[in-house]
Structure 1
Amino acid sequence: MKVKRSNIVRLTVNGIVCFFICVLSLKAQDKGPNIILIMADDLGMECIEAYGGTSYKTPHINKLAMQGIQFENCHAQPVCTPSRVQIMTGKYNVRNYTRFGELDRSQITFGNLLKNTGYKTAIAGKWQLGKEEDSPQHFGFDASCLWQQSRPRFDSLRHDTRFSNPVLQINNKVQHFTNGEFGPDIVSDFICDFIEENKNEQFFAYYPMLLAHYPFVPTPDSKDWDSKSMGSLINKGDPKYFADMVAYMDGIVGKIVAKVESLDLSENTIIIFTGDNGTEKLITSMLNGKDYPGGKTRTTDNGTHVPFVARWDGKIKPNTKSSDLIDFSDILPTICDIANADIPSEFVVDGTSFLPQLLAERGTSRKWIYSWYSPHGNLRVLKEFTRNKEYKLYSTGKFYNVKDDFYEKNPLPMAGLSEKERQVYKELKNALKIYKLARVEKK
């Protein structure tokens, strides 16, 4: 049987078309979703109503938790820079922490890894990780709108420059705002604009918020907001404004969620909310009917226990809670897992992906987490520990039941340990040994 040449050509063209359709289909399957990571500044889990907090109104974050998953046992480092280094690199501070306000430029971040995968990347909010002009781009971000990038926290008259009439760097260009602008509005607008501009692309938006860090000041929703203020002259401001700042922060979360929904991106976007460390020590909140003091800078639970909620329509089952233990080293591998981003084999990651738990699968539950905490890199004031949900062991040998002894006032005597406690002690001591030789001193 003879086949006409025209039919052969037609069949060949159809085959090529089918081939490319299949290839594109496979690529579409491999293509990860958009990722938005929001990290509040100085906000422990007790500030969120969904966690049992009753001092502040957080309806948008509550809704995010109801529409997705809420992790009950997420821990950060006790203060700003250590947490930021850990969340961005997936490594415990013992491996790569240098000093406060710096991220070693030899490090690779989730920005680098997602950019290399084809994501459009942006960072907006608080930087405080090195004063080089090209820092955001060096660490993988195409676009940036940052406070405290290459400029200090204060202006020449000692006004704090992050809130009213702020000083920001937008794509590395310093801009002084003097028309009554509010810093959190500018940076959240930047995030929303980035989402809009990249609605047809894969994007990763990292938003380390300015709120609700001190100075505690009025927001544009406060009765005594002053649009002419050039920033607080009082280092920590007035704690009476903390509630206003938390409410405004929550509203910004709602604003970003609304932007995603308005662009019909909810099923292709995972939105994550967390906090970088415990609440400022000046603040005492109510949690489940009891006083809960802020513990920023402390290694007790009120210094490290932070909220972590995530929503991904059609993927994460609504109104889910997980009691699994996670920490900030887990976020990079989880984001890379979500994005189908390769992590180079030579790249050391201390964290474990919890993507299975996000998707209501079993996953690998962590038996312990580790912390190496020295904000200024001074080993004389180092606090190093491993812990599970109930017990904590410091490298000094002090062993606590943190569930019963919240303030860690009463170390458990070795002679009085139960069989279960002896087993936990052994596991945590072995975990400490893993990092005994991990510290590489930086000059």
Structure 2
Amino acid sequence: MNSSTLISRISIFFFCYILVILSAFSQDKKPNIILIMADDLGVETINSYGGTSYSTPFIDAMAAQGAKFEYAFAQPLCTPSRVQLMTGQYNVRNYTVFGQLDRSQTTFANLLKEAGYKTAIAGKWQLGKEQDSPQHFGFDESCLWQHMLGATNKDGYDTRYSNPVLEINGVPKHFDGGQFSTDITSDFLIDFIEKNQDQPFFAYYPMIITHCPFVPTPDSKDWDPTSPGSPTYKGDPQYFGDMVAYMDKIVGKIITKVDELGLSEDTIIIFTGDNGTDQPVVSMYRGKEYPGGKKYTTENGTHVPLVVKWNNHIKPGTQSDDLIDFSDFLPTLMEVAGIKIPKEIPVDGVSFLPQLLGKKGKSRDWVYSWYSRNGDIENLKEFAFDKEFKLYGTGEFYNLQEDWLEETPLIYKDLDKEGKKAFKTLNKALDKYENIR
């Protein structure tokens, strides 16, 4: 063998070796995670779920290209939902008061960051006014509304939409150049994704939109870039449809960027809402009027969309009728990332990753809820439900198929065999959490 042949073979060997190393590195890279949660957006607002009042083409495309869950449920209000979502625990364990997440808690961002993920949050906070709150709970970067500051300025104008006041990594900034908060926060996350595309990242986007005040968006005919913000809390409900369309557009903007960066196979994108649509919005849903039910424990206060896209992992058009609640998100994200949840964290949720991947998974028999806006027992609503029946801790029992607004409680002695069986199952679910708090 001459020297040139030997050198050639050695070069080929090292080239192949490098390819093997790079391939192994690529396979070991954890998936990126993007979690998008619209504010005050019930299931009836999305076309692919049967809503016909608004336009949601990008979320509908997510459902067509990925998976859609028919029975996903949040808490009836923002802070209770966020606490449950971020910690994987029912509010009975760790909820304190509206607008706060107890600093002793561990969030999905804490766990992902400890496992090597770069993490960022943009949108609405409302979980503690300490300057370091987002970082304390695991986020490297943050761009937030209602972090340390309140919802209105000194003149009483709402600060969340046109020319907003946001806090970037704990530093307040008043945008006064005709900006719209949904553009700023989404751009912040896209910048974060671009900067961290070569390593695992977690981008959490609890959107400010579609919460009231209902106001024009930059796509509305009467958008006013000089507006100081709404002078009233509710605004004008006629703009709710514009806000839904803009929310959907921003979801599409994020998905498009992921595709442009070539990350669609490496990134799982999850979309949901934090609770039901606000009043006085009434939408058309599956041929009937459907009133917004935010803050109420009826279906229209808790039933939210859940759509997931992950190219070449989730079979397009996947649909699941399994029950899902917000405690299930943390264990799902941990399973996606290959992270073991520490034993000292009492997680109530169940991962729904198997269902996303076309497997049976561990389906729920019921969903439990401990709901009190300010954490007090006097105003507590505690209940458990399945797809057909719902039982409150106070004893009221409803058939959800026939009485979804819960207007006529059932009497136990009049129940058939199926109804009595459901009552006993749901009563056991309530008993499971009886002595926790």
How does the TM-score come out when normalised to structure 2?
0.95
Aligned to 2:225: 227
Between the aligned partners of 1:124 and 1:306, the Cα distance in structure 2 is: 21
CA distances 1:20-65 after superposition (whole Å, capped 9, x unpaired): 9878766644432100000000000000000000000000000011
Between the aligned partners of 1:117 and 1:419, the Cα distance in structure 2 is: 49
CA distances 1:365-401 after superposition (whole Å, capped 9, x unpaired): 1001100000111211100001111111100111111
Residue 307 of structure 1 aligns to which amino acid in structure 2?
A: P
Aligned to 1:3: none
Aligned to 1:355: 353
**Residues 8-407 of structure 1 mapped to structure 2, 5 A cutoff:** 28-407=26-405
Between the aligned partners of 1:188 and 1:24, the Cα distance in structure 2 is: 32
Query: Is the 1:117–1:342 contact (alpha carbons within 8 Å) kept by the matching residues of 2?
Result: no
Between the aligned partners of 2:185 and 2:59, the Cα distance in structure 1 is: 19
Between the aligned partners of 1:390 and 1:31, the Cα distance in structure 2 is: 42
Residue 359 of structure 1 aligns to which amino acid in structure 2?
A: L
Between the aligned partners of 2:334 and 2:20, the Cα distance in structure 1 is: 25
How does the TM-score come out when normalised to structure 1?
0.94
Q: CA deviation at 1:120?
A: 0.5
Which of 412, 418, 421 lines up with 1:420 in the alignment? 418
Query: Is the 1:30–1:340 contact (alpha carbons within 8 Å) kept by the matching residues of 2?
Result: no
Q: CA deviation at 1:342?
A: 2.1
Q: CA deviation at 1:411?
A: 1.1
SS in 2 for 1:159: coil
Between the aligned partners of 1:299 and 1:23, the Cα distance in structure 2 is: 53
Between the aligned partners of 1:287 and 1:159, the Cα distance in structure 2 is: 33
Query: Is the 2:142–2:170 contact (alpha carbons within 8 Å) kept by the matching residues of 1?
Result: yes
Query: Is the 1:31–1:340 contact (alpha carbons within 8 Å) kept by the matching residues of 2?
Result: no
Residue 54 of structure 1 aligns to which amino acid in structure 2?
A: T
Q: How many residues in Structure 1 have an aligned counterpart in Structure 2?
A: 427
Between the aligned partners of 1:21 and 1:106, the Cα distance in structure 2 is: 45
Query: Is the 1:164–1:182 contact (alpha carbons within 8 Å) kept by the matching residues of 2?
Result: yes
Q: CA deviation at 1:162?
A: 0.7
Between the aligned partners of 1:341 and 1:157, the Cα distance in structure 2 is: 47
CA, structure 1 residues 24+425, in 2 after alignment: closer, same or farther (shift >3 Å)?
A: farther
Ranges in structure 2 where 5+ consecutive residues have no aligned partner: 1-5
SS in 1 for 2:86: helix
Residue 172 of structure 1 aligns to which amino acid in structure 2?
A: G
Query: Is the 2:32–2:266 contact (alpha carbons within 8 Å) kept by the matching residues of 1?
Result: yes
Which of 419, 422, 431 lines up with 1:433 in the alignment? 431
Between the aligned partners of 1:352 and 1:25, the Cα distance in structure 2 is: 32
Q: CA deviation at 1:345?
A: 1.1
Between the aligned partners of 2:103 and 2:57, the Cα distance in structure 1 is: 39
SS in 1 for 2:271: strand
Aligned to 2:3: none
SS in 1 for 2:374: coil
SS in 2 for 1:78: coil
Q: CA deviation at 1:421?
A: 1.2
Residue 308 of structure 1 aligns to which amino acid in structure 2?
A: L
Residue 63 of structure 2 aligns to which amino acid in structure 1?
A: A
Q: Identical aligned pairs, as a percentage?
A: 61
Residue 67 of structure 1 aligns to which amino acid in structure 2?
A: Q
Residue 56 of structure 2 aligns to which amino acid in structure 1?
A: T
CA distances 1:48-86 after superposition (whole Å, capped 9, x unpaired): 000000000000000011000000000000011000000
Ranges in structure 1 where 5+ consecutive residues have no aligned partner: 1-6
Query: Is the 2:209–2:247 contact (alpha carbons within 8 Å) kept by the matching residues of 1?
Result: yes
Q: CA deviation at 1:410?
A: 1.2
Q: CA deviation at 1:438?
A: 1.1
CA distances 1:249-278 after superposition (whole Å, capped 9, x unpaired): 000000000000000100000111000000
SS in 2 for 1:380: coil
Query: Is the 2:29–2:199 contact (alpha carbons within 8 Å) kept by the matching residues of 1?
Result: no
CA distances 1:301-334 after superposition (whole Å, capped 9, x unpaired): 0000000000000000001111000000000000
Between the aligned partners of 2:384 and 2:356, the Cα distance in structure 1 is: 24
Between the aligned partners of 1:230 and 1:246, the Cα distance in structure 2 is: 21
Cα RMSD of the aligned pairs, angstroms, is: 1.7
Between the aligned partners of 1:197 and 1:191, the Cα distance in structure 2 is: 10
Structure 1: which 4+ aligned runs deviate by more than 3 Å?
20-31
CA distances 1:177-207 after superposition (whole Å, capped 9, x unpaired): 1110101100000011111111111000000
Between the aligned partners of 1:38 and 1:120, the Cα distance in structure 2 is: 17
Between the aligned partners of 2:330 and 2:417, the Cα distance in structure 1 is: 36
